[in-house]
């Protein structure tokens, strides 16, 4: 299965954008509930900390989404491999965290785990592309000279 680096970055950006929308939605709903409860005689309110945390999570997810989109501009294959490896670890960590914190949201955990598997496959595909590029280039004169020196062959 051939998955490109660009596609996995777009999938990751889209997924984190959906999580951003969800966190923003939760924050807005909590804010309006808090405002509505302040107008009643019953009293009571939602926690301002909850509202702050949901909006903080939304801000962090905004930065993560933009980061995925900025990674699309990187053309160096070795740098892309390192980025994809980091993305794979990131999605695996998110999956484990979601399973440990809230096992009832199995589908969200499965979504993030699927993205981590796709990232892993993209990383394997990228390794093959890097090896093919290296084989296509061949050895430079300096590398040939160093290998001959290492083998004990003197070229006069």
What was the pLDDT predicted at 20? 96
What was the pLDDT predicted at 25? 97
What's the CA gap between 145 and 151, in Å, rounded?
A: 10
**Helices 5-38 and 48-70, packing angle to 10 deg:** 160
What was the pLDDT predicted at 115? 94
What confidence tens digit (pLDDT) does each residue in 103-149 have? Answer: 888 888 899 999 999 999 999 999 998 888 888 887 788 888 888 88
- pLDDT greater at residue 102 or residue 86: 86
Whether the Cβ atoms of residue 76 and residue 51 lie closer than 8 Å to each other: no
The structure tokens 């484990």 sit at: 96
Confidence of residue 3 (pLDDT cuts 50, 70, 90): confident
Q: What is the mean pLDDT of residues 12-32?
A: 94
Pick from 41-45, 55-59, 60-64: least confident = 41-45
40 burial (CB, 10 Å; 0-12 / 13-18 / 19+) is: exposed
Confidence of residue 40 (pLDDT cuts 50, 70, 90): low
């Amino acid at each position: 299965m051939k998955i490109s680096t660009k596609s996995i970055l777009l999938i990751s950006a889209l997924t984190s954008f959906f999580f951003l929308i969800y966190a923003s939605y939760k924050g807005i709903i909590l804010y309006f509930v808090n405002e509505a409860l302040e107008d009643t005689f019953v009293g009571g309110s939602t926690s301002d900390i909850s509202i702050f945390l949901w909006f903080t999570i939304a801000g962090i997810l905004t930065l993560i989404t933009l980061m995925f989109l900025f990674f699309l501009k990187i053309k160096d294959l070795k740098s892309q491999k390192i980025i994809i490896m980091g993305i794979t670890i990131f999605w695996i960590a998110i999956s484990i965290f979601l399973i440990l914190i809230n096992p009832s949201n199995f589908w969200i955990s499965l979504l993030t785990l699927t993205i981590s598997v796709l990232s892993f496959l993209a990383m394997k595909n990228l390794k093959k592309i890097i090896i093919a590029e290296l084989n296509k280039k061949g050895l430079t004169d300096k590398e040939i000279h160093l290998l001959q020196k290492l083998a004990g062959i003197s070229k006069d």
